[in-house]
Amino acid sequence: MSHPEDEDPAALFRAAIGEVTPLRKVVTPPPATPRPKPRARMAEQDEQEARGEFARLLRDSSPLEAGDTASYRRENLPPRMFQRLKRGQYSVQDELDLHGATVAQAEALVRQFLVEAHAHEYGCVRIIHGKGLQSDGGAPVLKNLVDRLLRLRNDVLAFHSAPAGQGGTGAVLVLLANR
């Protein structure tokens, strides 16, 4: 009497399944045209939506021109503090330069910059948006984006175009609320 452990497992398997016919190997030819390079469709869609949102903001309010002063003050901020900001008398603790950024990139950069400014408990920061002299269609895109974004944020007490020696109408000084 033979024990099951003495038998070859492969022989047992072949005996169990019986006669087999091997499958014919099918060779598929490579595609005639190469696949297109992948596109960042979601990034393109986000950029398109940001442009649409920005265009809506510009339609709803008159856009700032290249030489216009960007200015905003919350009602609860004392006028004296706002005057000091306008004169550039607060020490700038950090700076963000948006030159060369797209609308979507600039929006993300500004939001991240302000989050980090709060994490470091900065009181005054500068955002350089440029004057927009190179903008298509006339209105400086990044300048208007920064103006609209800052107005919507609860953590911004005030902002004003920088004095001439600190960037003039191509930059904005931002006074941030403490936590």
CATH number of 68-176: 3.30.1370.110
Taking only the tens place, the pLDDT of each residue in 62-112 is: 677 777 888 999 999 999 999 999 999 999 999 999 998 888 899 999 999
Tokens 């500068």 identify what position?
Answer: 126
More confident residue, 3 or 79: 79
The residues, ordered by sequence, that sit 6+ positions from 131 with a Cβ below 8 Å of its Cβ are: 66, 67, 140, 143, 168, 169, 170
In the predicted structure, residue 58 carries a pLDDT above the cut 60: no
Least Cα distance to 127 among 89, 88, 97 occurs for: 97
Domain boundaries, the chain: 68-176
Residue 169's φ and ψ, nearest 5 degrees, are: -80, 5
Least Cα distance to 175 among 73, 38, 60 occurs for: 73
pLDDT, position 95: 96
Distance (Å, whole) CA 18 – CA 138: 82
Q: What is the mean pLDDT of residues 108-133?
A: 91
Taking only the tens place, the pLDDT of each residue in 8-22 is: 888 888 888 888 888
Distance (Å, whole) CA 139 – CA 28: 56
Whole-prediction pTM value?
0.66
Q: Hey, CA dihedral for 77, 81, 87, 92, is it positive or negative?
A: negative
